[in-house]
Structure 1
C-alpha cells in the first residue's frame, strides 16, 4: 500500500484513495461509459428523425450520416458532472456559480451548433450568441486579467478592465470557432478534444485551486473518448455542432481558478495545447482575406490543415492520427512549460496515446465486422 502511494506521489497524485482523486476517476469513467453505450441509441434515433449530413463536394461521406454526436458528448458530460457533484460537492460558492455558468454556456453552444446544422444560421447570429455566452462567463467572475498575463506590462485599471473584457471575448469566441473549423475529417475533433482535455486536466491538477476545473475536464475527456469509438473513420455518427461545445468548454475551463497569478499563467498552456486549431484558423482567415472574401468565417472551403493533410495521405485515418500526434506534442510542450514533472508528462502522453489507439482499433475492428456479411 505504501509503495502504491509512493508511486502515485511521483505521478503527482497526492492520495490515490482520497475523495479528490476518486471523484475525478468516477467522473471520467461515468462520462466514458455513458457516452459509449448511449451513442448507438442516439444514432438510431437520429436516423429516424432525419438528423443527417447529406453527401456534397466538401464532405467525405458517400451516404447520409447522422450528425447528432455532439448531443451524446453533451449528455455524457452533464451526467458525469452531476455524478461528481453528488459524490463530492464543491465547497466554494463562487466556484459553484462559475461551474454552473460554464455548463449553461456549454448548453447554449451545443444547441447553437445543433440548430445551425439544420437551419444554417447566419455568421452574425452565431457570433452574437457566442459573445453572449462569453458575457455569461464574465458576469460570473470568469474573466481574463491582462495584468496577470506573464511578461506583459502592468496597466492601470482604466485600461486593464476594458482590455481584459475584449481579450476574454476573443479568447472564448476565438477558441470556440477554432475547434469548430477543425471538424472536417472523421476523428480529428473528437481526438483533439480528448487530448486537450487530458493535458489541461493534468496541468490544472498541479494547482490546489483548480479542483472544479479538473472534474469538468475529466467529464469532457471521457465523453470525447466514448464518442470517438463511433467517429474514427469510417464514422457511424458525427458531431453535428458538438465542436462548439468542445471548444467553448475548453476555453471556459481554462479561466476557472481563484489565484490571480496562476490563472493568468495557465492561459499560456491551453494556447500552446490548442496551437493546431489556432494556427489552422489563422492561416484560413488570412488566406480568405487575401482572396477578397469579406466574411472569412462564413465562407467554407478546403484550405484547412486537415484538408491539406488528407490530400497528401489520401486516408482519413492517417490524417486523424497525424493530427492527434501534433496535438499531443503541443500538449507535451505545454505541460513541460507549466512545470509538470517529466515523469508525469511521459506517463500522461503514453496513457493518452494508448487510449486513442485502443479506441481507434475497436472502431476499425467493428467496421470489419460490419463489412463481413457484405463480402460473403
Structure 2
C-alpha cells in the first residue's frame, strides 16, 4: 500500500485515499455516466421534435441527424460540478466567483449554440454573445496579462490594460469558434475535446492551488467521453454548435483560471501547444479563404479543414477521427513536457487517454455491428 501511495505521489496525487482525489474521480465518473445514460433518451426526444442537423457544405451527413448532443454534455458537466462542490466545496471566495462566471458564460454559449442549431442566428448575433461572455470573465478577474507573457516586452499600464482586454476577447472568441469549425466528421471534436480536457486536468493536478480548474476539467472530460460513445462513426447524435461552444469556451476560460501558469503570470504558450490542432486548423482555413477573396472567412463553409483533408486521404471517418485524436494527444503531451511535468505523469496520462478512447470506440463499433444499422439508420459521416 505504501508503494502504491508513493507511486501516486510521483503522478502528482498527494493523497491517493484523500477527499480531493476522490472528488475528482467522482466528478469524472458522474459526468461520464450521466451523459452516457442521458443521450439515448435525449436522442429519442430530439427525433420526435425535429432537432436535427440538415446536410450542408461543411458537414458530411447525407440525411438529418439529431444535433442535441451538446445539451446532454452540458447537463452531465453541470451535474458533475454540483456533485463535486457538494463533496469538496471551493472555499476561496474569488475562485468561487470566477468558477461561477465560467459556468454562467458556458450556459449562455450553450443556449446560443442550441438556438442557432435549431432556428439559425446571424454571425453578428453569435459574435456579440461570445464577446459578452468574454467580458463576463474579464470583469471577474479572468484575463490575459500582456506583461506576464514570456518573451514579450513590458509595456506601460495605460497600454497594457486595453491590450490585455483585447487579447482576452480574441482568445475566448477565437478558441470557441476554432473548436466549432472542427466539428465536421464523426468523433473528431468529442475525442479531441476529451484529450485536451484530460491533458489540462493532469497538468493542473500537479499544482495544489488549482483545485477549481481540476474540477471543471474533470467534468468536461467525463462529459466528452460519455458523448463519444454515441458519436464515433457511424454516429447516432452530434453535438451541434451548443456542444462545440461548450468545449471551446470552457477550455479557453479554464486556461485563464490558472490551469497552465509558468509562474505568477499567466502564459498562453502551454495552452496554445495543447490546443494546437483547432488553432492551426482555423488559422489555415481563414488564411486560405482570405486568399481566395472571401470577405467573411468564418461565415463561408467549405471542406478545407484539416479533418476534411485527412478524410479525403483515408476515405474513412473512423480513421480520420483516430488520426486526429493521435495528433491532439501528441500536442498535449508536448505541452505537458513544455510545462515541465514529470515524465511519469505524461506517460500515465497518455496511456489512460488511449485506453479510454479505445474503450468507447470499441463499444460503439460493437453496438453497431450487433444491429444498430438495422434499428436506426445513420449516415456514413457527419
Cα RMSD (Å) of the superposition? 1.5
CA distance 1:127–1:25, change in 2 (3 Å) = same
1:373, 1:303 → 2: CA distance? 33
1:145-180 Cα offsets, whole Å, 9 max, x none, are 111111212222111111100110011001000000
Q: Which residue of 1 aligns with 2:329?
A: 328
Q: Which residue of 2 aligns with 1:124?
A: 124
Q: Which residue of 2 aligns with 1:31?
A: 31
Compute the displacement of 1:266 (Å).
4.6
Q: Which residue of 2 aligns with 1:245?
A: 246
Compute the displacement of 1:56 (Å).
4.2
Compute the displacement of 1:247 (Å).
0.3
Q: Which residue of 1 aligns with 2:379?
A: none
Compute the displacement of 1:142 (Å).
0.5
Q: Is 1:285 aligned to 2:286, yes or no?
A: yes
Q: Which residue of 2 aligns with 1:370?
A: 371
Q: Which residue of 1 aligns with 2:21?
A: 21
CA distance 1:371–1:89, change in 2 (3 Å) = closer
User: Are the equivalent residues in 2 in contact too, given 1:77–1:220 (CA < 8 A)?
Assistant: yes
Q: Is 1:101 aligned to 2:101, yes or no?
A: yes
Q: Is 1:307 aligned to 2:308, yes or no?
A: yes
1:32-77 Cα offsets, whole Å, 9 max, x none, are 0000101100100100110011234543223321000000000000
2:188, 2:154 → 1: CA distance? 39
User: Are the equivalent residues in 1 in contact too, given 2:179–2:247 (CA < 8 A)?
Assistant: yes
1:3, 1:146 → 2: CA distance? 44
Compute the displacement of 1:124 (Å).
1.1
User: Are the equivalent residues in 2 in contact too, given 1:209–1:258 (CA < 8 A)?
Assistant: no
Q: Which residue of 2 aligns with 1:201?
A: 201
Q: 1:175-324 to 2 correspondence within 5 Å?
A: 175-241=175-241, 242-257=243-258, 262=263, 264-324=265-325
**What is the TM-score with the length of structure 1 in the denominator?**
0.97
Compute the displacement of 1:9 (Å).
1.0
Ranges in structure 2 where 5+ consecutive residues have no aligned partner: 376-382
1:263-285 Cα offsets, whole Å, 9 max, x none, are 64552221111111111100100
Q: 1:40-189 to 2 correspondence within 5 Å?
A: 40-189=40-189
CA distance 1:369–1:263, change in 2 (3 Å) = farther
1:106-153 Cα offsets, whole Å, 9 max, x none, are 011111111111222111111111000000000011111111111212
CA distance 1:174–1:75, change in 2 (3 Å) = same
Compute the displacement of 1:262 (Å).
3.1
User: Are the equivalent residues in 1 in contact too, given 2:31–2:223 (CA < 8 A)?
Assistant: yes
1:296-347 Cα offsets, whole Å, 9 max, x none, are 0011001100001001111000000000000000001000000001111011
User: Are the equivalent residues in 2 in contact too, given 1:39–1:69 (CA < 8 A)?
Assistant: yes
1:350, 1:15 → 2: CA distance? 21
- State the secondary structure of the residue aligned to 1:225: helix
CA distance 1:259–1:111, change in 2 (3 Å) = closer
Q: Which residue of 1 aligns with 2:7?
A: 7
1:211-264 Cα offsets, whole Å, 9 max, x none, are 100000000000000000000000000011110110000000000139986364
Ranges in structure 1 where 5+ consecutive residues have no aligned partner: none
CA distance 1:373–1:300, change in 2 (3 Å) = closer
1:179, 1:77 → 2: CA distance? 18
1:261, 1:145 → 2: CA distance? 13
- State the secondary structure of the residue aligned to 1:257: helix
**What is the TM-score with the length of structure 2 in the denominator?**
0.95
Q: Is 1:343 aligned to 2:340, yes or no?
A: no
CA distance 1:57–1:370, change in 2 (3 Å) = farther
- State the secondary structure of the residue aligned to 1:254: helix
- State the secondary structure of the residue aligned to 2:173: helix
- State the secondary structure of the residue aligned to 1:255: helix
1:308, 1:264 → 2: CA distance? 38
1:170-208 Cα offsets, whole Å, 9 max, x none, are 110010000000000000000011000001111111222
